[in-house]
Structure 1
Amino acid sequence: MDMTGEERINAPRDAVWAALNDPDILKRCIPGCQVLEMTSPTELAATVKIKIGPVSATFNGEVTLSNINAPESYTISGEGKGGIAGFAKGGADVVLKEDGSETILQYAAKAQVGGKLAQLGARLVDSTSQKLAQQFFADFNAAVSEKEAI
């Protein structure tokens, strides 16, 4: 499944870049995120609990940042295992463009699921993934904009 989109954030690019690399902000914005901690400058460990249709699962996984071109772009990729529910893996290319005092965050994401989750049907998984992505970017936008307003 592929998703693309953009979010206009009322903050300068350096502030948005800093937030994209701040595990505390990311943890607050990732739907269902219970744990997110840096294990190295480019790696994070995550625990996320989500529900897709009738399947609820806790995923434990790793997130890696690569192709880092600060403060302009990076690739974020990860894989999580959810026990009998299956697995989820994916990544996103994130680009930050300055637009006056604001920043336009563009993303192109790919995701893949397997196991019980894959049996739910592509439409349900795709629509849930789209909702989770929209929720993350809306929450991230609010967190960064609020921080800048202070």
Structure 2
Amino acid sequence: MEFNGSQNISASRATVWQRLNDPRTLQECLPGCERYEQAEDGSYDAVIAASVGPIKARFKGSARFLDLREDTGYRIEGNGSGGIAGFGKLIADVHLEDIDGGTALHYTATAQLGGKLAQIGSRLVGAVANKFLADFFSRFEKLVSECEDAAAPQSMTIVIL
């Protein structure tokens, strides 16, 4: 399965980059994420509770960020297993670019599924994956743009009587 798209985020590229590399931000923005922490080898371990059609499972997996290009992008290689629900592997490329009013995040991803996940059909899995991405980007946009607004200098009016 392949996924690609873009998301405009109302924040500077430096802020978006910082937040994309912050484990607490990612845990907060990943739907169903129960745990997201850095492992000793530099990868990240995660536990995500998810439902795909009739299949409900807690997926345990890891992600490694490769080819880091400061404030520009990286490659994510990840895998996860939901026990009898099945397993998945993901390779995604993320690229950031400046746009008027913020940053565009572009992504392309390829996923492979096995087990029951593969049996329920790519159309349903694709719909769930697209919903997951939409929820992630909605949360990420909200969190990052709020932080950007809080960091912006506030104007002040002084009245002398």
TM interval, short-chain normalised: over 0.9
Matched ranges for 1:80-91 at <5 A: 80-91=80-91
Q: Quote the offset at 1:66 in angstroms.
A: 0.2
| Secondary structure of 1:92 counterpart | strand
Deviations, residues 61-120 of structure 1 (Å, cap 9, x unaligned): 111000111110101121001111110111211001012451111111111211011111
Relative to structure 1, the CA distance from residue 145 to residue 98 in structure 2 (aligned partners, 3 Å threshold; closer, same or farther) is: same
How many pairs were matched up? 150
Which consecutive segments of 4 or more residues in structure 1 shift more than 3 A? Answer: none
Matched ranges for 1:54-65 at <5 A: 54-65=54-65
- For residues 40 and 13 of structure 2, the distance between their equivalents in structure 1, rounded to whole angstroms, comes to 23
User: Is the strand fraction higher in 1 or 2?
Assistant: 1
| Secondary structure of 1:68 counterpart | strand
Relative to structure 1, the CA distance from residue 6 to residue 40 in structure 2 (aligned partners, 3 Å threshold; closer, same or farther) is: farther
Over the matched positions of the two proteins, sequence identity in percent amounts to: 41
Matched, 1:23 2:39: no
TM-score (norm 2): 0.89
TM-score (norm 1): 0.95
- For residues 39 and 73 of structure 1, the distance between their equivalents in structure 2, rounded to whole angstroms, comes to 21
Give the RMSD, CA atoms, in angstroms: 1.3
- For residues 83 and 75 of structure 2, the distance between their equivalents in structure 1, rounded to whole angstroms, comes to 26
Match of 1:77?
77
Q: Quote the offset at 1:45 in angstroms.
A: 0.6
- For residues 98 and 40 of structure 2, the distance between their equivalents in structure 1, rounded to whole angstroms, comes to 28
Q: Quote the offset at 1:144 in angstroms.
A: 0.6
| Secondary structure of 1:31 counterpart | coil
Q: Which runs of 5+ in 1 are unaligned?
A: none
Match of 2:35?
35
* Higher-Rg member (1/2): 2
